[in-house]
């Protein structure tokens, strides 16, 4: 019997041993992977890092105007008569009260980025994590270089956005955790921010050397040239009066910054020249995409066919008659002002104020061809919905536009697609619209940035050479001897500076540059007291009869109005009288504090260490330090 007991004892011990060994064999019993998402393995997986990069592009790359209301302050200026809904934009130019410290929420108000514009620092955190994570990644070196280069460039771009809006901002360059001490750092100075931006873009330029993208499925990625162009742009800001004021006793002017900017902009120009060039037809800047648009350097792609990647710009620029909206109760977007139209020179580059042939009644005659390429006015040809001989009419009570006549007398042609049918104009249910790419930085800007720096470092000839190329492309004629495409009007650095500023306003009309240029050059005060003006096209008396006549279809099958010869003053003035009045009656009021916006209050409240900017809420932070 004893033997049996021992046997059972053995069995018993066996069972226990077995169960123990079951556990022992499964050493990784408790090592369970998270199957609902990628954990820290992400950095060893090329596709996963690429996914993160895709998301980061989506968050950081500049967007089509009005596509994200959080950004809309960036399009406020004197060139556009804003939608009545855009209260912050209207505050900026003083037609709807003044900006207060919590208005410009570009940094955001939420601790998330599930929606674009929630918080730029969450987007930067993506870059920080990737740059850190890729350091120890097992991916191939060239793969890592290409990915890292883009993250560096995106981070530089993001900090540049923040710095030019707010002055210095907290500079977070490593992944943060609840314990890390970096998060307790206060605002970095603008100088440190620019240093970091330049460093990031330098890194990107090095890492992206030799990297090329396939347009079919990689269009929009940041190239070495793009990084160089952004760097040039950034250093231009650092040298410009916004950060480098001319007459500020506390912050002496530093001319050397212009040398740095000149070098960077020239380098960008030289680099870009090899790959990019001005396209011949200015009117097609946004209509051409891909290889045929040799000018686009920094691009965000949109599509009318891929779900959720479209925009509604076509609807917003078009007249009602062709499927658009210009609803004055809040829907009118992209309404060019008379102020913008005035900036266009005569056809030979002579400013209208200097021209003897300019007449307000026939303002379109003999002007810089970019006016016709960009803006539609009463009687101007505007091919839409494939109608080649179509002309736009904007006279009072024009039947076609019903109650949605443009609020300024002008329409923007830039973001319209001439052959898109009216039925396809709307972007709705995730599809439709024109799908036009947003070109945030094009070769023309590289050239003008270069020109501006060259002028500041007394290389006027180089500057003029750049502007001349721009004007030649625009179709401006050389003109009389000494006119030199209108450049003859500028002899001094100051005159050239003004000329370049005007050239920017015209060349980049409605591209969202004006807001920044006004701030960068500290020219906001020049707007004060002006109004946003519009053009009225009154019908000659007897009004009813005139309107009836104009809208009667003649024997040729076209309306009588379409037979008017726009280049014949009599033909036009027989029916219309042009006058200019204020589109927004309250005059523009801007303030010096707008050169650096206040940090939003939720952002400020999130850390006791943050200083508010001087000029806002008793702020103490000096963005010029």
Partner 1 sequence: MACAPLLAALLLSETTYATLPGTKVISNVTTKSTARATITGTVKDEKGEPLPGVSVKVKGTTIGTTTDVNGNYKLNIADEKATLVFSFLGYETREVVANGQAIINIQMKESTATLKEVVVNVGYGTKKKDDVMGSVAVLDAKEIEDLPVPNIAAALRNRIAGVGVDAASGKPGSSININIRNAPISEQSKAWGATTDPLFIIDGIIVSKSEFESIDPSMVENVSFLKDASAAIYGAAGAKGVVLITTKKGRPGKPKISYTGYLGYTDAASSPKMLSAYDHAKLLNDGYRIANESASNLFSNAELEQLKSNASKGWFDQLWKVAQTQRHNFNVSGGTEAITFFAGGNYYSEGGNYGGIDYDKYSFRLGTNAKIIEGLTSTVTLSTDFSNRETQTYSNSDNDQNFFQQLVTTPYWIPMAIDGKPVNFSNRNNNPLAVMQSDNYIRNKNQGLTVNASLEYKPKFLKGLSARTQFGLTNRAGNGRQYVPAMTLYNFAPTGQNNSLISNQVTSEYNNSNSSLLLSTSRTTSTQFIAGLGYQRSFGNHSLDWIAATDISQNTTEDLAVKWSNQLMKGVDEFWAFDPSTFVRHNDEVIESAKISYLSRLNYNYNKRYFMEAIARLDYSSNFAPENRAAVFPSVGLGWNVSEENFFRDNVSFVNYFKLRANLGLVGDDRTTARLWQARYDVISDGYLYNESPTTGIRNQIEPNRDITWEKALNLNVGMDASLFHNKLNVTVDVYRRKNYDMFDKGNNENFPMYAGFVAPVVNYQEKTSWGSEFSIGYQSKINKNWGINSSVNFGFSNGIIDRMFYNENQLWDNAFPDLKYQFGTNPRKYTSENYGLKALGMFRTQAEVDSWLQKYPTYTVNGVVPQVGWLYYEDATGDGRITEKDQVLMYNTVSPAVGFGFNLGVTYKSLSLSSNIVARFGGKEFYDSKSREEATNTVNVPTYWNDHWSLDNPNGRFPRFDDPSIKAGWNSTFWAVDGTMIRINNMTLSYKVPKKLLSKFGLSDVRAVATGNNLWTIKNPLPFKDPYSSTIYDYPTLRTISFGLNVGI
Interface pattern 14-33 for partner 1 (x via CB under 8 A): -xx--xx-xx-----xxxxx
Stretch that binds partner 1, among 147-155, 302-310, 499-507, 582-590 (CB under 8 A): 302-310
Q: Whole-angstrom Cα distance, residue 450 to residue 11? A: 88
CB of 596 to partner 1, least distance (A): 17
CB of 221 to partner 1, least distance (A): 7
Q: Match 């599809």 to its residue by tokens.
A: 431
Which of 71, 72, 83, 128 is close enough to bind partner 1 by CB under 8 A?
128
Nearer to partner 1, 302 or 621 (CB): 302
Q: Decide: is 291 part of the binding site for partner 1 (CB under 8 A).
A: no
Please enumerate in sequence order all residues whose Cβ is within 8 A of that of 208, keeping only pairs 6 or more positions apart, or say none. Answer: 145, 146, 149, 150, 153, 222, 223, 224, 227
Which of 25, 138, 216, 585 is close enough to bind partner 1 by CB under 8 A?
216
131-150: contacts with partner 1 (CB under 8 A): none
CB of 283 to partner 1, least distance (A): 22
Which of 428, 568, 581, 605 is close enough to bind partner 1 by CB under 8 A?
605
Total of chain residues touching partner 1, rule CB under 8 A = 80
Q: Decide: is 287 part of the binding site for partner 1 (CB under 8 A).
A: no
Q: Which two tokens stand for residue 120?
A: 């730029």
Nearer to partner 1, 219 or 493 (CB): 219
98-117: contacts with partner 1 (CB under 8 A): 107-108, 111-112, 114
Which of 21, 51, 292, 357 is close enough to bind partner 1 by CB under 8 A?
51
Stretch that binds partner 1, among 7-15, 244-252, 264-272, 457-465 (CB under 8 A): 7-15
| Cα-to-chain-centroid distance, residue 217 | 22
Stretch that binds partner 1, among 67-75, 121-129, 227-235, 581-589 (CB under 8 A): 121-129
Which of 8, 136, 247, 481 is close enough to bind partner 1 by CB under 8 A?
8
Q: Which two tokens stand for residue 81?
A: 């008569």
Stretch that binds partner 1, among 142-150, 215-223, 259-267, 537-545 (CB under 8 A): 215-223
Q: Which two tokens stand for residue 85?
A: 């809904």
478-507: contacts with partner 1 (CB under 8 A): none
159-198: contacts with partner 1 (CB under 8 A): 169-170, 172, 176-178, 183-184
Pairing of strands 532-539, 296-300: unpaired
For residue 356, what is the DSSP state? S
Indicate the Cα dihedral angle 96, 99, 103, 107, nearest 10°: 130
Nearer to partner 1, 210 or 608 (CB): 608
Please enumerate in sequence order all residues whose Cβ is within 8 A of that of 287, keeping only pairs 6 or more positions apart, or say none. Answer: 417, 418, 436
Question: 237: alpha, beta or left, given left = phi > 0 and alpha = psi -120 to 50?
Answer: alpha
Q: Match 């030649």 to its residue by tokens.
A: 472
CB atoms within 10 A of CB 573: 14
Nearer to partner 1, 4 or 555 (CB): 4
Which of 91, 148, 221, 519 is close enough to bind partner 1 by CB under 8 A?
221
Handedness of CA 344, 348, 351, 357 (dihedral sign): negative
CB of 344 to partner 1, least distance (A): 33
Question: 385: alpha, beta or left, given left = phi > 0 and alpha = psi -120 to 50?
Answer: left
Asked if 516 and 77 count as a contact pair (C-beta separation under 8 A), the reply is: no
Burial code of 513-541, b = ≥16 C-beta within 10 A, e = fewer? bbbbbbbbbbebeebeeebbbbbbbebee
CB of 297 to partner 1, least distance (A): 15
CB of 65 to partner 1, least distance (A): 18
Stretch that binds partner 1, among 42-50, 332-340, 447-455, 583-591 (CB under 8 A): 42-50
> For residue 201, which of 164, 233, 168 has the smallest C-alpha distance?
233
Q: Decide: is 541 part of the binding site for partner 1 (CB under 8 A).
A: no
């Amino acid at each position: 019997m004893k033997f049996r007991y021992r046997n059972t004892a053995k069995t018993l011990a066996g069972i226990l041993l077995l169960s123990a060994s079951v556990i022992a064999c499964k050493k990784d019993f408790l090592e369970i992977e998270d199957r609902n998402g990628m954990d820290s393995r992400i950095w060893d997986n090329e596709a996963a890092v690429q996914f993160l990069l895709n998301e980061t592009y989506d968050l950081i790359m500049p967007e089509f105007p009005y596509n994200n209301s959080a950004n809309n302050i960036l399009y406020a200026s004197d060139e556009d008569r804003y939608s009545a809904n855009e209260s912050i934009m209207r505050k900026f130019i003083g037609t709807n009260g003044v900006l207060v410290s919590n208005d410009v929420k570009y940094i955001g108000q939420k601790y998330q980025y599930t929606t674009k514009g929630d918080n730029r620092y969450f987007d930067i955190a993506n870059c920080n994590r990737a740059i850190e994570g890729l350091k120890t990644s097992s991916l191939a070196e060239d793969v890592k270089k290409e990915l890292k280069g883009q993250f560096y460039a995106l981070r530089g771009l993001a900090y540049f956005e923040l710095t030019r809006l707010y002055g210095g901002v907290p500079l977070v360059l490593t992944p943060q955790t609840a314990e890390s001490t970096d998060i307790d750092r206060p605002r970095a100075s603008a100088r440190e921010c620019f240093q970091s931006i330049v460093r990031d873009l330098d890194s990107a330029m090095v890492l992206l050397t030799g990297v090329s993208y396939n347009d079919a499925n990689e269009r929009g990625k940041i190239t070495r040239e793009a990084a160089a162009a952004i760097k040039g742009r950034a250093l231009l800001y650092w040298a410009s009066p916004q950060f480098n004021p001319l007459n500020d006793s506390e912050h002496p002017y530093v001319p050397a910054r212009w040398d740095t900017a000149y070098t960077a902009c020239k380098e960008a120009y030289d680099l870009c020249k090899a790959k990019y060039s001005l396209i011949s037809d200015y009117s097609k800047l946004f209509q051409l995409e891909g290889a045929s648009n040799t000018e686009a350097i920094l691009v965000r792609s949109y599509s009318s066919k891929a779900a959720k990647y479209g925009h509604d710009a076509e609807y917003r620029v078009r007249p009602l008659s062709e499927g658009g909206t210009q609803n004055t109760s809040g829907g009118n977007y992209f309404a060019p002002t008379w102020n913008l139209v005035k900036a266009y020179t005569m056809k030979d580059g002579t400013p209208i104020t200097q021209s003897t042939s300019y007449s307000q009644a026939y303002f379109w005659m003999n002007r810089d061809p970019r006016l016709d390429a960009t803006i539609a006015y009463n009687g101007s040809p505007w091919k839409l919905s494939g109608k080649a001989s179509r002309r736009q009419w904007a006279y009072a009570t024009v039947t076609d536009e019903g109650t949605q006549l443009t609020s300024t007398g002008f329409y923007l042609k830039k973001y319209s697609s001439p052959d898109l049918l009216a039925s396809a104009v709307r972007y709705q249910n995730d599809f439709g619209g024109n799908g036009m790419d947003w070109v945030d930085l094009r070769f023309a800007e590289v050239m003008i940035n270069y020109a501006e720096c060259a002028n500041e470092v007394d290389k006027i000839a180089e500057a003029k050479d750049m502007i001349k190329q721009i004007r030649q492309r625009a179709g401006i004629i050389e003109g009389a001897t000494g006119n030199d495409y209108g450049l003859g009007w500028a002899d001094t650095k100051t005159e050239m500076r003004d000329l370049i500023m005007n050239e920017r306003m015209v060349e980049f009309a409605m591209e969202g540059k004006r807001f920044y240029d006004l701030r960068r050059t500290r020219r906001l005060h020049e707007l004060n007291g002006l109004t946003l003006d519009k053009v009225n096209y009154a019908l000659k008396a007897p009004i009813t009869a005139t309107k009836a006549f104009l809208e009667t279809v003649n024997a040729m099958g076209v309306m009588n109005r379409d037979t008017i010869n726009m280049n014949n003053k009599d033909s036009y003035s027989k029916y219309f009288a042009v006058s200019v009045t204020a589109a927004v009656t309250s005059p523009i009021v801007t303030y010096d504090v707008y050169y650096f916006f206040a940090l939003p209050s939720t952002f400020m409240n999130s850390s006791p260490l943050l200083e508010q900017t001087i000029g806002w809420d008793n702020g103490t932070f000096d963005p010029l330090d």
